[in-house]
Chains A and B, each alone.
Chain A
Amino acid sequence: MAERPLTVAVASGKGGTGKSCVAASLLVTVPGLLGADVDVEEPNLALLLGAEAISSSLVEIPWPVIDDALCDRCGECVKNCRFGALLMFGGGAPVPNDLCHGCGVCSMVCPRKAITEVGRPVGEVRLCRRGDLRLYEGRLHVGMPNPVPVIDAALRAALAEGRDLVIDSPPGTSCPMVSAVREADVVVLVTEPTPFGYADLDLALQVIRELGKPAMAVVNRCDLGDADIEGLTERYGVPVAARLPFSRAVAESYAAGNPPAATDALWRDAMVTLWERAKEMAGR
């Protein structure tokens, strides 16, 4: 029987610790992995891998449309919308604005059935490719407030392939990050040994513990700072799986758009170890 595919989410409390570098390095080191970039506000994984979009589909959320002839201006929808997304001006029918979450409450409560819904594009999911390497990239349209529907759409597309998957998660610890890591078997938290890295990792570890996910940490630029990351992760029972020193050569090659593992043997070895440990943790 074929093994169940393994899904690993690469996350970090703080942005810029090298999360996308780790995700991209896993993808170029371990053969046969599929990628999902769900850092949809700033998707960088395809750029780092030099992958080109070969197809794209829009992500839409429902958007209310009010039939002016049916609407009798009762104001029920305005009263029930908890986001202040419907406003009535000068005797006209209510008009939705950007605060709309697409929750559907207004169409549920309208006594005259005057409200229907259409799709409103909030982002896209692109399938990107370079050689044999493929990844799904979620991309939020600039100006749209809620990244979660785009994250979900990109994850759904990637998970549907039923392959071993690496997810590049959004930074932070609020609902975008949770949406990304809740689908994973194992979470890799990338951090740096600065007080910022330490504080943000602490928050991320709390979220991971609450989700009950097995996790490991990667300490990037491990020589640029002396915060006690090991002491912190130990308290959560999370092992440090790799420590990677700062390298100007790696930083320069990253600047030019090459993932560290493409130029650095230390990174390649670390990625092999990381994947092996993830498999163990997930019991594969």
Chain B
Amino acid sequence: MKIREITVVSGKGGTGKTSITAALAASAPGGLALCDADVDAPDLEILLHPEPREEHAFIGMDTAGVDSQRCIGCGRCRDVCRFDAIRMEGGKARVDKTFCEGCAACTLVCPVGCIAMEETRQGTWFVGETGFGPMVHARLNPGGENSGMLVQLVRKEARRVAESRGLGTILTDGPPGIACPAISAVTGADTALIITEPTISGEHDLLRVAELCRRFGTKAAVVLNKADLSAQGAERIKEACRKEGLPLLASIPFIPGVVHAVSQARIPLAELEEFLGPTWDRLKGL
């Protein structure tokens, strides 16, 4: 069976991506696996309350570790590191794991061989069970590295779970932005569903994610949220969608009840109901 993956993205944060993802999950027409790939701010669990089933360490790229007993403080490692990850402190090299990209250049220049690459835990990933299907989610350690790798990992695991249970759709809550995590989230997905809002920054960010999807060969579609906050802004988003050939699947007004539901950690299902069915229908028709 072919599994279809829909990744919800937004470019700009705060457009309502996670609330809409949760409501789509709760209204899905068929069997579904869920994936939270916003590993920096993993909020989908707040609405879907997964029952924990599995917990695993996420080991990212190896990073450099200095044996300070043997370090002679020459500073060559600091000079060769292009990611500014090494500082000399009290005459010893110290690696800032947040910035170490794991290239190992420092190990190649250390004259006493006191730097080694070591396994580094960068976060945790989970499998849980929600009322709407299994869910794979993760949390990057604050200040952690390799979020793109973790995004790939949760997507792969969600696919494995979907395959083993014969579920035809994966719904993924993607990361904001357009860099490594976003690239890792849209590459290979069947559809990127872009949630935007009728602001000039919403329009600007929409165009950048849409271009990203085009580059990585992922078909994109748009949901305009809080559409009535600016009639002019909404017109501009519609115009941008027409020009870019992006199907606009739904226009949702600003509904205070959605904020209210989210505040109570509840899925805004009743509040969004009338928009969800048509969105699923149009998603299918793409």
Contact = CB atoms under 8 A, between A and B. Distances in A.
A and B interact physically: yes
B14 A14 contact: yes
Nearest to B100: A175
Interface residues of A, number: 64
Interface in A154-178: 170-176, 178
Interface in B98-146: 98-99, 101-105, 108-109, 140, 142-145
Interface stretch (B38-46, B65-73, B157-165, B276-284): B38-46
A199 B46 contact: yes
Interface of A: 13-18, 20, 41-42, 44, 47-48, 62, 80, 82-83, 101-105, 108-109, 140, 142-148, 152, 170-176, 178-179, 193-196, 199-200, 203-204, 206-207, 210, 221, 224-227, 248, 251-252, 254-257
- Nearest 10 CB-CB pairings of A with B: A16-B14, A15-B13, A255-B230, A103-B103, A41-B177, A172-B40, A16-B13, A44-B201, A145-B180, A225-B263
27 contacts: A15-B10, A15-B14, A16-B13, A16-B14, A18-B14, A41-B176, A41-B182, A42-B178, A83-B103, A105-B105, A140-B179, A142-B178, A142-B208, A145-B148, A145-B183, A173-B140, A175-B98, A176-B179, A178-B99, A179-B99, A200-B43, A206-B143, A207-B142, A210-B143, A225-B259, A251-B229, A255-B200
Contacts of B156: none
A47 B99 CA distance: 30
A234 to B, nearest CB: 19
Nearest to B263: A225
B201 A48 contact: yes
A144 B183 CA distance: 9
Contact of B144 (A146, A174, A221): A174
A108 B108 CA distance: 8
Max chain A C-beta neighbours (<10 A), residue from B10, B13, B177, B230: B13
Contact of A44 (B41, B62, B80, B205): B205
Given A62-B82, A105-B108, 19 more contacts: A14-B14, A17-B14, A41-B176, A82-B62, A83-B103, A103-B103, A108-B105, A108-B109, A109-B108, A142-B215, A145-B180, A146-B179, A152-B84, A172-B176, A172-B177, A173-B144, A179-B99, A196-B18, A224-B260
A49 B142 CA distance: 31
B262 interface: yes
A14 B263 contact: no
Nearest to A205: B142
B14 A195 contact: no
Nearest to B85: A175
A199 B43 contact: yes
A254 B144 CA distance: 33
Nearest to A109: B108
Contacts of B40: 171-174, 203
B232 A256 contact: yes
Interface string B51-69: 0000000000110000000
A84 to B, nearest CB: 11
A146 B180 contact: yes
A41 B177 CA distance: 5
B205 A42 contact: yes
A195 B263 contact: yes
A103 B200 contact: no
B86 interface: no
Interface in B7-43: 10-15, 18, 40-41, 43
A144 B179 contact: yes
A170 B199 contact: no
A256 B263 contact: no
Contact of A103 (B82, B147, B232): B82
Contact of A82 (B12, B61, B177, B260): B61
- B14, B41, B83, B265 interface centre (most CB from chain A within 10 Å): B41
A82 B13 contact: no
Interface size of B as a range: 35 or more
Contacts of B211: 142-143
A211 to B, nearest CB: 8
A257 B200 contact: yes
Contact of B263 (A20, A152, A199, A224): A224
B242 interface: no
A211 B114 CA distance: 26
Contacts of B15: 16
A105 B103 contact: yes
B198 interface: yes
Contacts of B98: 174-175, 178
B249 interface: no
Contacts of A203: 40-41, 142
A172 to B, nearest CB: 4
B75 interface: no
Nearest to B198: A255
A39 B105 CA distance: 29
